[in-house]
Chains A and B, each alone.
Chain A
Amino acid sequence: MSWIREGELTIIERFCANIIKAGPMPKHVAFIMDGNRRYAQKCHVERQQGHSQGFEKLAQTLRWCLNLGIREVTVYAFSIENFKRSKEEVDGLMDLARQKFSRLLEEQESLKKHGVCIRVLGDLPLLPLDIQELIAQAVLATRNYNKCFLNVCFAYTSRHEISSAVREMAWGVEQGLLEPSDVSESLLDKCLYTNNSPDPDLLIRTSGEVRLSDFLLWQTSHSCLVFQSVLWPEYSFWNLCEAILRFQMNYSALQKARDSYMEERRRQQMERDQDYVTKKLQQEGFASHGDSRRRRTLLQKCTAMREERIQGFLQALEHKRADFFERLCPVSA
């Protein structure tokens, strides 16, 4: 299949893979595939060639990830900022996208065989309509596959994504599905484009740049960040292993930091809930320290009601999103 290179690891690669797999492995890796244009310059070829090579390298890297048991990969394919590039380059990238998504749709059998679920994340209405339609077809065709997951960020920036998540919650409030007090970090998590994925364990950026460039800012706050100087089209299996080793070296520190962050988050939510209950009891004329049973009951009731509201809202959001894709391909499979 053109998006995932066929082939197994060489003997040496398999040897190293086995060593690495003895330690903790990332379940979800994100890539900023930077360096296509510099590679093209270096090799004295057209930029378009650089991007093409970049895609080939993506296919190869996905294969390596699968070989290593890494089942979810997210890539930054096209930023909203990239629209600022020359018309020629943007058109070239759009054509590459057309080519690759069309090809993907011709490979239904292979997608099924590998069980690849393709998701495309971004402000899709910014794209040419025909590309939106191709994307919708690819997403709908693979939505029930679950052996591995490929998330392609296209017409994406993290700030747009976070704003969109907040907008969705505001929509929920406007629709009467949510109370403003239901807004929380965990609810915002569930409104991002990446709501069906765990946070990336590892973020790799190639070409030597040491910044995030508006990619998954929310989701990678506690991820292992690895900056590698190799240009993307020259990425090797060894580069990938190096990054995973870095992840392993950071594993316990990051686990610890994440756990303490979640604990603090839980504690603050509990505090907010207790304050709410106290206020409620006071309103109803009971002493704030009141009957601990009454407190507990009220707390349970409020929590349950909030859960119900949130479930209802998330379902509505899910429908809205599915609807967007379904309307783009009325003759979906």
Chain B
Amino acid sequence: AAASCALLAPAAGAFVFRKAGAGRRRPGGAAQGRQRWRSDGRALQKLPVHMGLVVTEEEPSYADMASLVVWCMAVGISYISVYDHNGIFKRNNSRLMDEILKQQQELLGLDCSKYMVKFANQDKADQVLNCQSTLKVLSPEDGKADIVKAAQNFCQLVAQQQRTYTDLDVNVLDNLLSSTNGFPDPDLVLKFGPVDSTLGFLPWHIRLTEIISLPSHLNISYEDFFSALHHYAACEQRWGK
């Protein structure tokens, strides 16, 4: 009976009961670590193109979130978004960025000037170099509020007689949204913490997103992170057919 109420698909029932990781992985040699992570990513049948990291716990940990972001990069995920419903990460953006840079150094042993994650929130051109992953830090204002803003903008155009109401359909509205400019919809959300809800994370964009729950992001281990990716790789999507 307990298994039938798992937050995840049955095969991974273990997630719910597993303790949050046994410490972060420290690579033997940094170059070795990098190679290992890249091959881990390639070993999966499919990788999410856009991964959402959603924290439902009240006290987010910058270090742990930074690890998660860096692991995403290492494994080859192109778009990463970070979210907490209190907007703490967003308000303390620079603190998170600093932690990410630090972790990149430690975990990937990379020279920061050579291999950088592009911070999509910031305009600092000097931090954007040979980037392979893009990061966005989001909060509730990027969800419903962004849809409302798009609606207001459209209505303004209608008031100015530049558009008529019948012009608005799903695609038009989709294009008017700005919170995730340039990002595809998330394929996968890793949701951390005990709350069984998305708590306002990009409601429009998550229509087909797989939602995998993990007990906590605190002291999360690479193994737990990778298991979730592995689980995602195994899922089948029928797309309504």
| Interface residues of A, Cβ cutoff 8 Å to B | 79-82, 84-85, 157-160, 162-163, 166-171, 173-174, 178-181, 183-185, 188, 208-214, 217-218, 220-230, 238-239, 242-243, 246, 249-250, 253-254, 257, 260-261, 264, 268
Within 8 A of A (CB), among B152-202: 152, 154-156, 158-159, 163-166, 168-170, 172-174, 194-201
Task: Verify if B148 is at the interface (C-beta below 8 Å from A).
Answer: yes
Number of A-B contacts (CB under 8 A): 178
State A13–B235 Cα separation when bound (angstroms).
35
Interface of B is mostly: loop
State A230–B204 Cα separation when bound (angstroms).
27
B9, A174: Cβ atoms closer than 8 Å? no
- Cβ–Cβ < 8 Å partners of B196 in chain A: 224-226, 246, 250
A106 to chain B, nearest CB (A): 32
A223, B197: Cβ atoms closer than 8 Å? yes
- Cβ–Cβ < 8 Å partners of B206 in chain A: 211-212, 217
State A171–B210 Cα separation when bound (angstroms).
35
Task: Verify if B4 is at the interface (C-beta below 8 Å from A).
Answer: yes
Nearest neighbor of A214 in chain B, beta-carbon distance? B207
Task: Verify if B30 is at the interface (C-beta below 8 Å from A).
Answer: no
Task: Verify if B7 is at the interface (C-beta below 8 Å from A).
Answer: yes
A121 to chain B, nearest CB (A): 16
B210 to chain A, nearest CB (A): 5
Given contacts A166-B173, A213-B240, A261-B85, contact A243 B5 (CB under 8 A): yes
Nearest neighbor of A227 in chain B, beta-carbon distance? B7
A276 to chain B, nearest CB (A): 13
- Cβ–Cβ < 8 Å partners of A243 in chain B: 5
Please pick, from A81, A183, A257, the residue contacting B155 in the complex, using a CB distance under 8 A: A183
| Interface residues of B, Cβ cutoff 8 Å to A | 1, 3-10, 56, 85-86, 140, 143-145, 147-148, 150-152, 154-156, 158-159, 163-166, 168-170, 172-174, 194-201, 203-204, 206-212, 235, 239-241
A174, B5: Cβ atoms closer than 8 Å? no
State A224–B197 Cα separation when bound (angstroms).
5
Please pick, from A157, A179, A225, the residue contacting B197 in the complex, using a CB distance under 8 A: A225
B241, A84: Cβ atoms closer than 8 Å? yes
B168, A163: Cβ atoms closer than 8 Å? yes
Given contacts A180-B159, A226-B5, contact A210 B197 (CB under 8 A): no
A253, B207: Cβ atoms closer than 8 Å? no
- Cβ–Cβ < 8 Å partners of B164 in chain A: 170, 174
B140, A261: Cβ atoms closer than 8 Å? yes
Given contacts A166-B168, A211-B209, A217-B203, contact A229 B9 (CB under 8 A): yes
- Cβ–Cβ < 8 Å partners of B154 in chain A: 166, 170
Nearest neighbor of A223 in chain B, beta-carbon distance? B197
B170, A84: Cβ atoms closer than 8 Å? no
Q: List 19 A-B contacts (CB under 8 A).
A: A163-B172, A163-B173, A166-B147, A167-B165, A167-B166, A174-B165, A179-B159, A211-B210, A212-B208, A221-B201, A222-B199, A226-B5, A227-B7, A228-B4, A228-B5, A229-B10, A239-B4, A261-B200, A268-B145
B170, A264: Cβ atoms closer than 8 Å? no
Please pick, from B3, B143, B168, B240, the residue contacting A167 in the complex, using a CB distance under 8 A: B168
B10, A79: Cβ atoms closer than 8 Å? no
Please pick, from A85, A239, A249, the residue contacting B241 in the complex, using a CB distance under 8 A: A85
- Cβ–Cβ < 8 Å partners of A260 in chain B: 86
- Cβ–Cβ < 8 Å partners of A210 in chain B: 7-9, 210-212, 235
Nearest neighbor of B161 in chain A, beta-carbon distance? A174
- Cβ–Cβ < 8 Å partners of A80 in chain B: 240
- Cβ–Cβ < 8 Å partners of B150 in chain A: 166
- Cβ–Cβ < 8 Å partners of A167 in chain B: 165-166, 168-169
State A158–B196 Cα separation when bound (angstroms).
20
A180, B240: Cβ atoms closer than 8 Å? no
B169, A185: Cβ atoms closer than 8 Å? no
- Cβ–Cβ < 8 Å partners of A181 in chain B: 152
A170, B4: Cβ atoms closer than 8 Å? no
Please pick, from B8, B155, B207, the residue contacting A158 in the complex, using a CB distance under 8 A: B207
Given contacts A208-B10, A211-B211, A228-B5, contact A81 B152 (CB under 8 A): no
- Cβ–Cβ < 8 Å partners of A158 in chain B: 207
A225, B159: Cβ atoms closer than 8 Å? no
B160 to chain A, nearest CB (A): 9
Please pick, from B10, B144, B201, B208, the residue contacting A185 in the complex, using a CB distance under 8 A: B144
State A227–B209 Cα separation when bound (angstroms).
14
A162, B147: Cβ atoms closer than 8 Å? yes
A229, B156: Cβ atoms closer than 8 Å? no
Given contacts A183-B152, A229-B4, A261-B85, contact A173 B159 (CB under 8 A): yes
A257, B170: Cβ atoms closer than 8 Å? no
- Cβ–Cβ < 8 Å partners of A212 in chain B: 206-209, 211
State A209–B239 Cα separation when bound (angstroms).
12
State A180–B8 Cα separation when bound (angstroms).
42
State A212–B235 Cα separation when bound (angstroms).
14
Nearest neighbor of A182 in chain B, beta-carbon distance? B155
- Cβ–Cβ < 8 Å partners of B155 in chain A: 169-170, 173, 178, 180, 183
Please pick, from B9, B173, B194, B204, the residue contacting A209 in the complex, using a CB distance under 8 A: B9
Tell which of B143, B169, B173, B240 has the most Cβ of chain A within 10 Å: B240
Please pick, from A171, A214, A230, the residue contacting B208 in the complex, using a CB distance under 8 A: A214
A84, B5: Cβ atoms closer than 8 Å? no
